[in-house]
Amino acid sequence: MARKNQTLGEFIIENQSAFPYSSGELSRLINSIRLAAKVVNHEVNKAGLVDITGAYGETNIQGEDQQKLDVYANNKFIQTLTNREIVCGIASEENDEFITIEGCNKDHKNKYVVLMDPLDGSSNIDVNVSVGTIFSVYRRITPIGTPVKKEDFLQPGNQQVAAGYIIYGTSTMLVYTTGHGVNGFTLNPALGSWYLSHPDMYFPEDGKIYSINEGNYVHFPQGVKDYIKYCQEEKDDRPYTSRYIGSMVSDIHRNMIKGGIFMYPSISQAPNGKLRLLYECNPIAFITEQAGGKASDGFKRIMDIQPTELHERTPFFCGSKNMVEKAEEFMRKGK
């Protein structure tokens, strides 16, 4: 039973029995993520300072090499998950290939793989706008005791065991699901603890916000153009409000709280859009569905897509159920 203001640690212990395979491994995995998130948060928070003190990104005041924050975040999450030996493999938007983790006895005994985008929207860091981390957890499908294979990572989103995001915003939040609803925890930076601030997060069925990079308008499919015109029409509760941060975690987080739709459709020069199915769309789709929303590629459910490549992309329509269904209706008509 979620209690507002309980710590994430308490929440994990109390809810462990609700986890599908309750060996404690998934709890330890979430614990590692919350730790890495705190470290990354600390670094993201001082990004502006680091820019001032670092000599054009080469060395900082301590003479250490400056790293791009997305590389830093990638290393931190990989290190934390590897050191604690709770996963058997990691795939990241920042790495071409997946990483195999043997475990201390080289026995490949762990059962989970993690897929992640360590710092999504990282181009926003330079202008002090919120960014996020997105993660997704699957149970491996190859036998325990053997090294992981690509097929362990190429599972459809409907096989996810857990997924979440961290938003490094005006406050830093960890929002995640293990398939039993969605809960949001806010970091108290003075104490270094996460507190349950948003229990049972829920996407309003309808919303009034549409989020899309309208600069690409001329390159959108006809269905998207028609849906945008529908959003702008003066009728019933429309026109809707347009809000686009350009940092998907932030756009989704706002829309989940207020009600809205986020779209990154195909564009003429990129027929599958920009966003990655495994690292971005599937985890956000799992959270969205768990929060009562809907996630689609414009025609079908995101989480039913069988991936064929680690870094494959897909058009993405995600948010309040009725809004996504309306967008799909325009997609079918405007094809």
- Binding site for substrate, by residue number, is 120-123, 213, 244, 274
The count of chain residues that interact with Mg ion, using the rule CB under 5 A, is: 2
263 binds ligand AHM (CB under 6 A): no
136 Cβ partners below 8 Å, 6+ apart? 114, 115, 116, 157, 160, 162, 163, 278, 279, 282, 283, 286
Distance CA 248, CA 288 (A): 13
117 binds ligand AHM (CB under 6 A): yes
Distance CA 220, CA 217 (A): 5
**First-to-last C-alpha distance (Å) of the chain:** 46
Distance CA 61, CA 44 (A): 17
Please select the residue that binds ligand AHM; options are 248, 263, 295, 303, rule is CB under 6 A.
Answer: 248
117 binds Mg ion (CB under 5 A): yes
Binding region: 93, 117, 119-123, 213, 244, 274, 280
Structure tokens at 216: 């690409």
Distance CA 32, CA 35 (A): 5
Binding region for Mg(2+): 93, 117, 119-120, 280
Please select the residue that binds ligand AHM; options are 94, 120, 152, 289, rule is CB under 6 A.
Answer: 120
Which is closer to Mg ion, CB of 120 or CB of 328?
120
122 binds ligand AHM (CB under 6 A): yes
Distance CA 263, CA 333 (A): 17
CB of 59 to ligand AHM, least distance (A): 25
CB of 316 to ligand AHM, least distance (A): 9
Structure tokens at 326: 């309306």
- Which amino acid, residue 59? T
70 binds Mg ion (CB under 5 A): no
Q: How far is CA 331 from CA 107, 216, 276, 300, 325, in A?
A: 49, 17, 20, 11, 10
Query: Is the Cβ–Cβ distance between 153 and 169 less than 8 Å?
Result: no
State CA 58 to chain mean position distance: 30
CB of 83 to ligand AHM, least distance (A): 25
CB of 140 to Mg ion, least distance (A): 24
136 binds ligand AHM (CB under 6 A): no
120 binds Mg ion (CB under 5 A): yes
Which is closer to ligand AHM, CB of 180 or CB of 274?
274
Strands 131-139 and 160-168 come out as antiparallel
| Options 22-30, 33-41, 231-239, 243-251: segment touching ligand AHM (CB under 6 A) | 243-251
The count of chain residues that interact with ligand AHM, using the rule CB under 6 A, is: 11
Which is closer to ligand AHM, CB of 86 or CB of 261?
261
Structure tokens at 280: 């971005």
274 binds ligand AHM (CB under 6 A): yes
List the interface residues with ligand AHM, window 84-113 (CB under 6 A): 93
Distance CA 165, CA 175 (A): 5
Which is closer to Mg ion, CB of 117 or CB of 289?
117
Residue 55 DSSP code: S
CB of 220 to ligand AHM, least distance (A): 12
Distance CA 86, CA 245 (A): 34
Please select the residue that binds ligand AHM; options are 60, 213, 242, 272, rule is CB under 6 A.
Answer: 213
> Burial, 66: exposed, middle or buried (Cβ in 10 Å; 0-12, 13-18, 19+)?
middle
CB of 40 to ligand AHM, least distance (A): 15
301 binds ligand AHM (CB under 6 A): no
What are the residues binding ligand AHM (CB under 6 A)? 93, 117, 120-122, 213, 246-248, 264, 274
Contacting residues toward Mg ion, per CB under 5 A: 117, 120
